[in-house]
Amino acid sequence: MRTKLVFVALLAFMVSPALSFGAGTVSGKITYTGTPAKQKPIDMSKEPSCAKQHTTPVTTETVVTGANNTLANVVVYISAGAPDESSAPAQAVTFTQKGCQYIPHVLAMRTGQELKVVNADQTSHNIHPLAKVNREWNKSQPPGTPPLSEKFDKEEFVPVKCNVHPWMHGYFAVLKTSHYAISSDNGTFSLPKLPPGKYTITAWQEDYGTQTQDVTISGSETKNVDFTFKAKPY
């Protein structure tokens, strides 16, 4: 029984890289209809070391739009049909606190992948992921301290905040797949290296929720999948 399990695991391990690097691609664009809520200005005057880093007004980033009704910061990923992946990528993802903002505002990562949190500011931040499925933790990171290293074991969209600077909000998108992308400033995304198969593609926007579409990839084709979210006016 045990040896059989090990054998199956080994087989899966050997096969999965071949499976997960196919030649198909799903790409597309994220747009919205309606009028998104106006982003609120952020007043950093209580934290001069951050305020002086910004030459232009800073606003919230709940909804980030581009030209022609496009949406940035949308997480697009394969929620069903992707081959199981044996282990998380060895390379860490980095979340930087700079100018009392999170860079990037939405950070996607694999379950089990190392997350590095960097404080590039001259002020203390506390990193407080309000996880519900994963463990909630809360750590202080004064200026000049080395990056924190963490990981999340379960799939979840985790809101992150800094209690010291209440305007700082961000998201960790912890996914079971490494087939994910975050829409660019002009709303585009691309999920390459897909083997032939039937997939469910999910798009997640922090304020507008999720949408899914099914797509079938055969061979080395590129399929276009666009998502349109209905904007919340407030």
Q: Point out which residues bind other proteins (CB under 8 A).
A: 8, 46, 122-124, 126-128, 130, 132, 135-146, 148, 163-166
Virtual CA dihedral for 207, 113, 84, 81, nearest 10 degrees? 20
Cβ at position 134, least distance to other proteins in Å:
9
What span, in angstroms and rounded, lies between the C-alpha atoms of 212 and 228? 11
Helix and strand numbers, DSSP H then E, in the chain: 2, 19
Cβ at position 85, least distance to other proteins in Å:
19
Cβ at position 184, least distance to other proteins in Å:
30
Judged by CB, which is closer to other proteins: 34, or 166?
166
Look-up of token digits 């739009």: 65
Look-up of token digits 């209905």: 230
Task: Give, in order, the Cα–Cα distances in Å from 70 to each of 29, 58, 170, 192, 206.
Answer: 7, 20, 20, 21, 15
Judged by CB, which is closer to other proteins: 40, or 193?
40
Judged by CB, which is closer to other proteins: 110, or 165?
165
Judged by CB, which is closer to other proteins: 35, or 163?
163
Judged by CB, which is closer to other proteins: 167, or 180?
167
Which amino acid, 139? K
Sign of torsion over alpha carbons 67, 55, 231, 203: positive
C-alpha 218: how far from chain center: 27
Burial (CB count within 10 angstroms: exposed 0-12, middle 13-18, buried 19+), residue 201: buried
Cβ at position 89, least distance to other proteins in Å:
23
Judged by CB, which is closer to other proteins: 145, or 212?
145
Residue 133 tokens read as: 């499925």
